[in-house]
């Protein structure tokens, strides 16, 4: 894929059960600069989404690995992270993600490249033995012979990560890899207007050794995603987005949610803004437009 040559011929796909799959219906994402069709993405129906909810429900509460089972997978993800960080240090890979982010979100090169740098640094931090260290347990002597208390960091099992448009790479990538390295099986749903970025990140992860069946990635609207979470009995859902949707999920998922952010965020304009009044007006217009399209 070439970020400079996107068009309706570029077809995004869901990742489910370890396979990249298309859907019967599709839709196109509009280029925010030109208004032309930029990429064709799946429009997952409620029927097609059953595969996602079935896999989520079938995931054991003990996860794919934990301190007592399949412990070699901690080292696996330490290796995957190291290889991904090495790939993202290559100028051509850094440029690829930077330009792809800019195609879907109106960001300065420094802002878009900053996302790539943050993710790469995070991967480096959790490479090698660092993943195993996160699962460190504890032991406490009892108050009589033969008694002791031991605590272990266990995964939840089938979980979900739902993220918005404003950070197409940084938010979903770090949250998804965090869930994976601790043994969870996450269903990842990114705002479909920017989801092509995270899809490419997951393809990089598979290229670097991540088992493709460890994570599911879905393009869909909110109603279909909500049905998957309910039918799949998501153990925990990490949601970043609006307060309205967050309150809805709290009720539907019976409180099994973690909210990263919700509500109105202030925009801070730096000293390099040539016309502050014009930029404020532009930011307000863009925020209103995005709100109406969500």
Q: Which run of H or of E encompasses 92?
A: helix 91-104
Report pLDDT for 220.
Answer: 95
Give dist(CA 215, CA 161) in Å, integer: 11
Question: Mapping DSSP to helix (H, G, I), strand (E, B) and coil, where does residue 68 land?
Answer: coil
Q: Is the pLDDT of residue 289 over 80?
A: no
> Which one, of 78, 82, 256, 94, lies nearest residue 162 by Cα?
256
Chain segment 162-208, per-residue pLDDT in tens: 999 999 999 999 999 999 999 999 999 999 999 999 999 999 999 99
291 Cβ neighbours under 8 A, 6+ residues apart: none
Residue 264 has pLDDT above 60, yes or no: no
Tens digits of per-residue pLDDT, 125-154? 999 999 999 888 888 998 999 899 999 999
Average confidence (pLDDT) over 15-43:
94
Q: For the chain, what percent of residues have pLDDT higher than 70?
A: 88
Measured distance CA(253)–CA(161) in Å, rounded: 14
Burial pattern 16-49, b for ≥16 Cβ within 10 A else e, equals beeeeeebeeeeebeebeeeebbbbbbbbeeebb
């Amino acid at each position: 894929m070439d970020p400079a040559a996107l068009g309706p011929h570029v077809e995004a796909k869901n990742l489910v059960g370890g396979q990249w799959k298309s859907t019967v219906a599709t839709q196109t994402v509009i280029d925010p600069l030109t208004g032309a069709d930029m990429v064709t993405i799946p429009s997952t129906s409620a029927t097609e989404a059953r595969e996602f909810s079935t896999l989520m429900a079938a995931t054991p509460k003990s996860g794919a690995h934990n301190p007592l089972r399949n412990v070699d997978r901690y080292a696996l993800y330490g290796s995957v992270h190291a290889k991904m960080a090495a790939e993202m240090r290559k100028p051509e890979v850094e440029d690829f993600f930077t330009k792809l982010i800019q195609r879907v979100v109106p960001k300065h090169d420094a802002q878009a490249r900053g996302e790539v740098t943050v993710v790469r640094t995070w991967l480096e931090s959790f490479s090698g033995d660092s993943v195993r260290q996160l699962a460190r347990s504890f032991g406490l002597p009892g108050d009589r012979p033969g008694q002791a208390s031991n605590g272990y960091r266990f995964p939840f099992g089938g979980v979900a990560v739902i993220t918005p448009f404003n950070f197409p790479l940084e938010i979903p990538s770090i949250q998804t890899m965090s869930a994976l390295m601790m043994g969870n099986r996450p269903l990842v749903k990114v705002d479909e207007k920017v989801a092509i970025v995270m899809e490419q990140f997951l393809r990089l992860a598979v290229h670097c050794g991540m088992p493709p069946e460890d994570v599911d990635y879905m393009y869909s609207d909110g109603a279909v995603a909500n049905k998957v979470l309910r039918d799949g009995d998501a153990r925990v859902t990490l949601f970043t987005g609006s307060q309205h949707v967050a309150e809805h999920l709290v009720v539907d998922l019976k409180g099994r949610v973690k909210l990263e952010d919700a509500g109105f965020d202030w925009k801070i304009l730096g000293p390099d803004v040539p016309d502050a009044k014009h930029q404020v007006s532009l930011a307000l217009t863009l925020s209103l437009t995005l709100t109406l399209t969500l």
